[in-house]
Amino acid sequence: MSAYLGDVAALARKDLRLELRARDTLPAMVLFVVATLVVFHFALPGGASDDAAYGLLWVALVFTALLGLGRSWVPEGESGALDGLVLATSDRSAIWLGKVLATLAFLGAAEIVALPAFALFFAPLDGPALAGVALASVGICAVGSLVSAMAAAARGREVLLPLLFLPLAIPLVVGGVGSSVSPEPATYLAFLGLYDAVFAILSWAAFEYVVTE
C-alpha cells in the first residue's frame, strides 16, 4: 500500500516539477479562462440574469480543463516514457492516480484565478457553488485523465479528446450549474459526489487496459 502511494506521489511530483520547469500548461489555462470570461461578457446580452452567467462559468471551466487535459499525456508520449512507467510501477493504476492529482493541481490553480475573476466580473459565488466546483473538478480530472490517455493512443489526439470527453462531462455540468443556481443545492452536490465515486472507480479499474500493449 505504501509502495503504491509512493508511486502515486512520485508521479504527481514529476508532473508538477516538469510544469515548474517548462511552464507550458498552467499559464495557458489561466490566460484561457480569463479570456473566456471576458468573451462571455460580450456574449451575454445586457439584461441577462446571473443564472446565465453561472451557466457560462461552467462552460469556461470545462473548456479550461480540456486545455489542460489535452497536454496531460504529452510528456509521456515523447520519447516513449509511458512504456517505461508501465513496466516500472507496482500497479498501473498508480500512473492514472498520479496524473489525476497533477491535473487536479493545475485545474485548481486555474480556478483560484478564475473564480475570483468571475465574482468580480459577473456575480458572487456562495458556499454550495464552490463545493460544486470542487466536486466537479475531481470528476473532470478522474474521467479526463483516462479519456485523454485513450486519445493519446490515437491519431489526431487534439480533435478526439473533446469528442470523447464532452458527453461524459454533461452530468458534471448539470450538477455544477444546479449547485450554483438551485435553492436546494444538496441534491446536486450529492449527485456530483455519486458521479465522482462511480467514474473514479471505473477509471481506476480500467486504466490498466488502456495503457498496456
Partner 1 sequence: MSIRNPSLSALAALAVVLGGVSVAMIFFVAPEDADQGLSQKIFYVHVPIALTAYLCFGIGAWKAFRLLLTRGERYDLESYTGIHQGTIFGALTLVTGSIWAKASWGVWWTWSSNQLVLFLVLFLFYCAYFMLRFSVESGPRRERISAVYALFGLALIPVSFFAIRLASDFIHPTVFTREGPQMTDSMFAAFCASWAAITLLAYVMYRTELAGKRTDLNLRELREALVR
Stretch in the footprint of partner 1 (CB under 8 A) among 52-60, 74-82, 129-137, 184-192 = 184-192
Q: Does 178 bind partner 1 (CB under 8 A)?
A: yes
Residue closer to partner 1 by CB (options 117, 181) is 181
**Which contacts (CB < 8 Å, 24+ apart) does range 190-199 have?**
192/132, 192/135, 192/136, 192/139, 193/135, 195/139, 195/171, 196/135, 196/138, 196/139, 196/142, 199/139, 199/142, 199/143, 199/168
> In whole angstroms, how close is the CB of 67 to partner 1 at the nearest point?
19
Residues 152-171 that bind partner 1 (CB under 8 A): 153-156, 160, 163-164, 166-168, 170-171
Residues 1-30 that bind partner 1 (CB under 8 A): none
By CB under 8 A, name the one of 175, 180, 189, 200 that touches partner 1.
175
Q: Does 151 bind partner 1 (CB under 8 A)?
A: yes
The set of cell numbers assigned to 116 is 475570483
Residue closer to partner 1 by CB (options 9, 198) is 198
The set of cell numbers assigned to 22 is 517548462
Distances (CA, A) of 90 to 5, 191, 208: 10, 33, 12
E strands in the chain: none
Q: Does 183 bind partner 1 (CB under 8 A)?
A: no
Instruction: Give the CB-side neighbour count of residue 110, counting CA atoms within 13 A.
Output: 31
Query: Residue 80 has what DSSP assignment?
Result: G
Q: Does 146 bind partner 1 (CB under 8 A)?
A: yes
Q: Does 86 bind partner 1 (CB under 8 A)?
A: no
H or E segment and range at residue 141: helix 127-152
Structural contact between residues 137 and 57, judged by C-beta atoms closer than 8 angstroms:
no
Stretch in the footprint of partner 1 (CB under 8 A) among 32-40, 59-67, 78-86, 197-205 = 197-205
How far is the C-alpha of 207 from the C-alpha of 26, rounded, in Å?
25
Residue closer to partner 1 by CB (options 98, 175) is 175
Binding site for partner 1 (CB under 8 A): 146, 150-151, 153-156, 160, 163-164, 166-168, 170-171, 174-175, 177-178, 187-188, 191, 194-195, 198-199, 202, 206, 209-210, 212-213
